[in-house]
Amino acid sequence: MMQVALVMGSISDWPQVQATANLLTDLHVSFDKHVISAHRMPKELQHFGETAKSEQYQVIIAAAGGAAHLPGMLAANTTLPVIGIPVQSKALNGMDSLLSIVQMPSGVPVATVAIGSAGAKNAALLAAEIIALHDSDVDHQLQSFRENQTKEAIKSNEQLQ
Q: How do residues 70-126 score in pLDDT, each as one tens digit?
A: 999 999 999 999 999 999 988 899 999 999 999 999 999 999 999 989 999 999 999
Q: How do residues 145-159 score in pLDDT, each as one tens digit?
A: 999 999 999 999 888
Q: Domain of residue 113: give its range.
A: 4-160
CATH number at residue 82: 3.40.50.1970
Q: Model-level pTM?
A: 0.95
Check the annotation: does 97 bind a ligand.
Answer: no
Q: How do residues 27-70 score in pLDDT, each as one tens digit?
A: 999 999 999 999 999 999 999 999 999 999 999 999 999 889 99
Check the annotation: does 96 bind a ligand.
Answer: no
Q: Which stretches of 2-59 are DSSP H helices?
A: 14-26, 42-51
Tell me how many domains the chain contains: 1
Check the annotation: does 10 bind a ligand.
Answer: yes
